[in-house]
């Protein structure tokens, strides 16, 4: 009996309207941190509009000593993404900029500045979590990056597509695009083959689907998808709608934080529901998700398991996590509870400690706003380090 199964992950490009918003929000966060490392930022962005009458709106709460030119940051981000031609219907020159940024609530500020533990004792000041919630981190041995293969391939397809657009190698491409990769696994949860590769990309008017299918297979798909995973039954799908000239904010409105599965593990692991972009690291939606990935990757580095999912949960204004959970899905050489105990000994998971250990008060965020926050070997991200693996081994 064949117990094989299919699993799919997707990615979206920097020109996708939701991803445009993530980049603008994180560009503003970076600008704040360049001048004031203790900025409190919760910045949301929305984009949309009709051809030639688009808008970009920023709103939320920012408390900072930095002097921020919001209009220039928004326009420069849009320009760098590639919306520079009038025929796209959305350029930095023809959109309206709306700014509704306020300041952080004093109630939230008080709880973050001095945690529940600090207020209840004579402890030295320790920041509390900026919100309640649960966060997940994940690592597996499917790829060198310790990421699921489907989301890794989906990202790599669009990075290659972006590079081909920017270099002019495929000169009719426009900034908005999506990819999707479906893998077939056997009953041992090993990847057997690629079942389906899907790319939908915005393009200039007058380009035929046949031309795009040929170019994208030869210059993108065959360069990224390992040949040993392709077979005669692999389905290659390019622009199944038949036409994708109108795209970006003209084709669909965008909003910060709507691509959280693209940002993380492509659905291969759980997600707590909180988005990352536009949030400073006192918001545990971001910092604790990074810490959970850091833990999971260090667990794999010890060779104690081939797959690890870590859940952390917090209460607003409280420094210590409410709960810590480790799940190795039966791949652990010791009980998950033993690994969990070791994690508690090795990792200080109070928000201030996470921020310090992972150097999160730095302007590093806009680069994470496209093609995933994890497994990025092209970026030197501190939560991808495995420097605590030896300490974990001792704690086992």
Is 259 one of the annotated active-site residues of the chain? yes
Select which of 61, 141, 213, 336 is catalytic. 61
CA pair distance 183, 224, nearest whole angstrom:
14
Question: Under the phi-then-psi rule, with left for phi > 0, alpha for psi from -120 to 50, and beta for the rest, what region is 13?
Answer: beta
Is 394 one of the annotated active-site residues of the chain? no
CA pair distance 19, 373, nearest whole angstrom:
13
Alpha helices in the chain (DSSP H): 17-35, 70-81, 106-113, 116-119, 149-167, 209-216, 222-224, 248-251, 260-263, 284-301, 336-346, 351-357, 389-395
The partner residues of 61 in beta bridges, in order of sequence, read 42, 102
Please compute, for residue 8, the number of CA atoms within 13 A of its CA located in the half-sphere on the CB side.
Answer: 8
Select which of 253, 270, 271, 336 is catalytic. 253
Select which of 18, 127, 176, 215 is catalytic. 18
Taking CB atoms within 8 Å and a gap of at least 24, the contacts of 222-230 are: 223/160, 224/153, 224/156, 224/157, 224/160, 225/153, 225/157, 225/181, 225/194, 225/197, 226/194, 229/183, 229/191, 229/192, 229/193, 229/194, 230/193, 230/194
Select which of 160, 162, 203, 279 is catalytic. 279
Select which of 141, 213, 252, 336 is catalytic. 252
CA pair distance 60, 368, nearest whole angstrom:
20
CA pair distance 280, 108, nearest whole angstrom:
14
Is 195 one of the annotated active-site residues of the chain? no
The partner residues of 313 in beta bridges, in order of sequence, read 134, 323
Select which of 244, 276, 347, 374 is catalytic. 244
Select which of 75, 174, 283, 297 is catalytic. 283
Q: Are 324 and 343 in contact (CB under 8 A)?
A: yes
Burial of 15 (0-12, 13-18, 19+ CB in 10 A): buried
Select which of 258, 293, 297, 357 is catalytic. 258
Distances (CA, A) of 390 to 302, 303, 346, 354, 394: 7, 11, 10, 19, 6
Is 51 one of the annotated active-site residues of the chain? no
Is 378 one of the annotated active-site residues of the chain? no
Select which of 16, 155, 203, 294 is catalytic. 16
Is 61 one of the annotated active-site residues of the chain? yes
Select which of 40, 155, 162, 178 is catalytic. 178
Is 122 one of the annotated active-site residues of the chain? no
Select which of 160, 165, 174, 259 is catalytic. 259
Distances (CA, A) of 193 to 11, 87, 116, 233: 19, 40, 51, 10
Select which of 285, 301, 309, 384 is catalytic. 285
Is 288 one of the annotated active-site residues of the chain? no
What pairing do the DSSP bridges indicate for beta strands 307-314 and 133-140?
antiparallel
Is 37 one of the annotated active-site residues of the chain? no
Is 258 one of the annotated active-site residues of the chain? yes
Is 285 one of the annotated active-site residues of the chain? yes
Is 244 one of the annotated active-site residues of the chain? yes
Q: Provide the annotated active-site residues.
A: 16, 18-19, 44, 61, 178, 244, 252-253, 258-259, 279, 283, 285
């Amino acid at each position: 009996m064949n117990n094989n199964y299919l699993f799919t992950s997707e990615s979206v490009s920097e020109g996708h309207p939701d991803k445009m918003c993530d980049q603008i929000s994180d560009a503003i966060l970076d600008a704040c941190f360049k001048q004031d490392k203790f900025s409190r930022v919760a910045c949301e962005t929305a984009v949309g509009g009709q051809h030639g009458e688009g808008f970009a709106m920023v709103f939320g709460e920012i408390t900072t000593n930095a002097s921020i030119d919001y209009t220039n940051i928004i326009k420069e981000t849009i320009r760098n993404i590639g919306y520079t031609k009038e025929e796209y219907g959305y350029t930095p020159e023809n959109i309206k900029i709306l700014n509704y940024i306020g300041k952080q609530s004093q109630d939230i500020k008080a709880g973050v500045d001095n945690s529940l533990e600090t207020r209840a004792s004579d402890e030295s000041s320790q920041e509390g979590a900026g919100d309640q919630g649960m966060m997940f981190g994940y690592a597996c041995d499917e790829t060198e990056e310790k990421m699921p293969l489907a989301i890794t391939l989906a990202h790599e397809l669009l990075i290659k597509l972006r590079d081909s657009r920017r270099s002019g190698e495929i000169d009719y491409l426009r900034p908005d695009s999506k990819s999707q990769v479906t893998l077939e696994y056997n009953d041992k949860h090993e990847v057997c083959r690629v079942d389906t590769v899907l790319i939908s990309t915005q393009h200039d008017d007058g380009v035929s689907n046949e031309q795009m299918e040929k170019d994208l297979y030869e210059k993108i798909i065959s360069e990224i998808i390992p040949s040993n995973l392709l077979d005669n039954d692999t389905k290659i799908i390019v622009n199944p709608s038949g036409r994708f000239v109108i795209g970006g904010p003209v084709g669909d409105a965008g909003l910060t934080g709507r691509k959280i599965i693209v940002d993380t593990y492509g659905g291969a692991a759980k997600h707590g529901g909180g988005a990352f972009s536009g949030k400073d690291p006192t918001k545990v939606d971001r910092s604790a998700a990074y810490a959970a990935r850091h833990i999971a990757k260090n667990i794999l580095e010890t060779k104690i398991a081939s797959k690890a999912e870590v859940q952390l949960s917090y209460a607003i204004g409280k420094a210590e996590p409410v709960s810590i959970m480790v799940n190795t899905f039966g791949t652990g050489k010791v009980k998950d509870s033993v690994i969990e105990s070791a994690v508690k000994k090795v990792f200080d998971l109070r928000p201030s400690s996470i921020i310090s250990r992972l150097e999160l008060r730095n302007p590093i965020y806009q680069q994470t706003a496209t093609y995933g926050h994890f497994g990025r070997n092209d970026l030197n991200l501190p939560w991808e380090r495995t420097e605590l693996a030896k300490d974990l081994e001792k704690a086992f």
